[in-house]
Structure formats: structure tokens, C-alpha cells
């Protein structure tokens, strides 16, 4: 399979997982997603790190990560770094303004993600919406078949706009996903990744200027790629994520 077909397959696996295990939480869906990526892709292409185990959070009484996933995508262009908060949405109407203002109507979860991106401008903040999407929805991709995936990515700035609606506003799942793109689309589009993000999302910036021309990757990403990540080394500055993943597409065409 090429990279487009691989990620379509993962998205379909996630959709089927949601349909058959509807009570699963977001954390377990992300764990399943990472497992499916590992299963489909060989180690030379996909590497992942369970930050909780690496940092031994339980030993230090940490209560959890600020967001679900940091994903680095390597291509012939400068690297793309995506950070994701995750939500599982099933019903067409389910108090989504309140859910997006989590916790306790504060927007704390959302603002933590945005503040991290502000202080780390090479990271692009998104929400990953896990949903079986069993309605005739339309996304920003005209070629999307809603039955192809259970993973939809949406600009965190759009989520902020939704969460700033009056508290009792009626916001439907269809309205949310209309502002999203199926996750696999970035690997199936004829545009390169930077053109893709500039076309569809406000989070695109001049990555060439954000990353230094030398050593553009954090040390932990380099060591993940080389297989030299050392759990006993305390010098890594890891992100506040549950998972870090590196997807290396540099030697594979996206079409």
C-alpha cells in the first residue's frame, strides 16, 4: 500500500472500532490508533513513544498529559509538527459547545493547547474528532466518503470559535465536521504538505523560518528515528503529550 491507502485503512479501522466499542474513551482510541499505525507501517517509517512510560509519570505523581498526541511528519519539505487534543463525538446534537469548553465551562483544555502552540510556534494545534460519522456529512474535502474514516482533524482556532458561542447554542456534529478534514486527506492530496496546510488551515506558517536551517528536529525526534532514545537519559525536553509519533514519508511519494 502507498501512504494514502495506508492511512485510509487506519481511519477505517478506527471507525469500525468506534462502531463496535462505542463506550471507549478518547485515550483508548488514541492508543488503538497508534497501534494500528505501528501494525501497518514498518519501523523505518513509523516510530512512536509512550511519554507516560518514558517519563515514569506515575513515579512522580503526575496526573496526566496536556494533550493526546504530538505527530511529526517528515517529507522532502521542512518537517510538519502537529499537536492534537482528542474528542469522541457520536450524537448529532449533544451539548457540543459545553463539551468544547471543557472542563467546567472554562476552555482550559483548549487554551492549554493553544498556549503551548503559541510558545512553540513550529507546532500546529488541532483537535482530532473521533466519530463514526454515520450521517451524510460534508467536510472541507469534496472527495471525502464519510464511511472511509473515524478520524477528522479540525483547526484548534475553529474549535475556539465554536466554544465561544453562547453557552446554550445549538451546535451540531454536522456543523463541526463541516469545518474538518478526514485525517488521511493530507496524505492523499496532490498538494505537498505545506501547500495543503496553507490551503485549508489557519495554523500554517513559514516553517522554513520557524525551524533553523540546521538541526530542525528536537533531539528526542532524532533519537526516535535513529533508535537511540534512552529511557535513562534525563536530558530530553519532551512535550506534555501522551504519545509522540514520527511518520517518515521522505522516501515515499504521496500520490
pLDDT digits (tens, 9 = 90+) for 75-115: 888 999 999 999 999 999 999 999 999 999 999 999 999 99
Q: Which three cell numbers stand for residue 232?
A: 535513562
Mean pLDDT (the chain, rounded): 86
User: Does the structure show a pLDDT above 90 at 130?
Assistant: yes
Confidence (pTM)? 0.89
User: Which residues, in sequence order, are CB contacts of 211 under 8 Å at separation 6+?
Assistant: 78, 79, 122
Q: How many helices (H) and strands (E) does the chain have?
A: 11, 7
Q: Is residue 253 part of a domain?
A: no
Would 254 be classed as within a structural domain?
no
pLDDT digits (tens, 9 = 90+) for 148-164: 899 999 999 999 999 99
Q: Is the pLDDT of residue 249 over 80?
A: yes
Q: How confident is the model at residue 147 (pLDDT cuts 50, 70, 90)?
A: confident
Q: How confident is the model at residue 40 (pLDDT cuts 50, 70, 90)?
A: confident
Distance CA 166, CA 132 (A): 27
- In total, how many domains does the chain have? 1
Is residue 183 over pLDDT 70? yes
Q: Which pLDDT does position 26 carry in this prediction?
A: 96
Please check the confidence at residue 252 and state whether its pLDDT lies above 70. no
Please state the separation of Cα 239 from the chain's center in Å.
Answer: 14
- Please indicate, yes or no, if residue 255 is contained in any of the structural domains: no
Expressed as residue numbers, the domain containing 69 is 3-248
Residue 236 pLDDT > 80: yes
Which residue, among 150, 179, 184, 146, has the nearest Cα to 163 in the 3D structure?
A: 179
In this structure, is residue 172 part of a structural domain? yes
Going from the C-alpha of 220 to that of each of 51, 132, 243, the distances in angstroms are 11, 34, 12
Q: Of 54-63, 73-82, 180-189, 244-253, which range is least confident?
A: 54-63
In a domain, 14, yes or no: yes
Within 13 Å of residue 92, how many CA atoms lie on the same side as its CB? 5
Can you tell me which residue has the cell 488503538? 32
Q: Give a yes or no: residue 43 inside a domain.
A: yes
Question: Hey, is 99 helix, strand or coil?
Answer: helix
In a domain, 189, yes or no: yes
Q: Is the pLDDT of residue 210 over 60?
A: no
Interior CA angle at 251 toward 7 and 210, to 5°?
Answer: 85
Q: What is the mean pLDDT of residues 212-230?
A: 80
What is the structure's pLDDT at 151? 96
Which residues are CB-contacts of 23 (< 8 A; sequence separation ≥ 6)?
none
More confident residue, 136 or 237: 237
pLDDT higher than 70, residue 239 = yes
In a domain, residue 121? The reply is yes
Whether the predicted pLDDT of 142 surpasses 90: no
How much is the pLDDT for 234? 63
d(CA 162, CA 141): 20
- The residue-averaged pLDDT of 235-246 equals 91
Asked if residues 75 and 192 have their Cβ atoms less than 8 Å apart, the reply is: yes
**Which candidate, 161, 164, 99, 108, places its Cα nearest to that of 130?**
99
Q: Quick one: average pLDDT of 206-210?
A: 44
Amino acid at each position: 500500500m502507498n501512504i494514502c491507502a495506508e492511512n485510509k485503512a487506519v481511519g477505517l479501522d478506527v471507525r469500525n472500532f468506534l462502531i463496535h466499542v462505542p463506550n471507549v474513551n478518547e485515550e483508548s482510541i488514541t492508543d488503538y490508533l497508534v497501534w494500528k499505525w505501528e501494525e501497518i507501517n514498518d519501523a523505518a517509517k513509523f516510530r512512536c513513544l509512550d511519554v507516560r512510560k518514558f517519563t515514569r509519570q506515575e513515579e512522580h505523581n503526575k496526573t496526566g498529559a496536556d494533550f493526546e498526541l504530538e505527530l511529526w511528519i517528515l517529507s522532502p519539505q521542512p518537517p510538519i509538527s502537529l499537536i492534537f487534543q482528542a474528542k469522541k463525538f457520536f450524537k448529532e446534537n449533544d451539548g457540543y459547545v459545553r463539551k468544547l469548553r471543557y472542563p467546567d465551562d472554562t476552555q482550559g483544555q483548549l487554551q492549554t493547547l493553544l498556549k503551548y502552540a503559541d510558545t512553540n510556534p513550529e507546532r500546529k494545534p488541532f483537535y482530532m474528532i473521533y466519530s463514526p460519522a454515520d450521517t451524510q456529512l460534508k467536510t472541507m474535502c469534496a472527495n471525502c466518503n464519510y464511511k472511509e474514516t473515524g478520524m477528522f482533524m479540525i483547526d484548534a482556532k475553529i474549535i475556539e470559535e465554536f466554544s465561544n458561542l453562547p453557552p446554550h447554542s445549538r451546535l451540531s456534529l454536522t456543523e463541526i465536521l463541516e469545518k474538518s478534514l478526514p485525517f488521511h486527506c493530507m496524505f492523499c492530496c496532490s498538494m505537498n504538505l505545506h501547500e495543503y496546510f496553507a490551503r485549508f488551515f489557519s495554523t500554517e506558517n513559514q516553517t522554513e523560518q520557524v525551524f533553523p536551517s540546521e538541526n530542525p528536529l528536537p533531539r528526542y525526534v532524532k533519537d526516535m528515528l535513529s533508535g537511540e532514545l534512552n529511557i535513562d537519559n534525563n536530558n530530553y525536553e519532551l512535550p506534555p503529550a501522551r504519545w509522540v509519533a514520527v511518520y517518515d514519508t521522505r522516501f515515499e511519494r504521496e500520490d
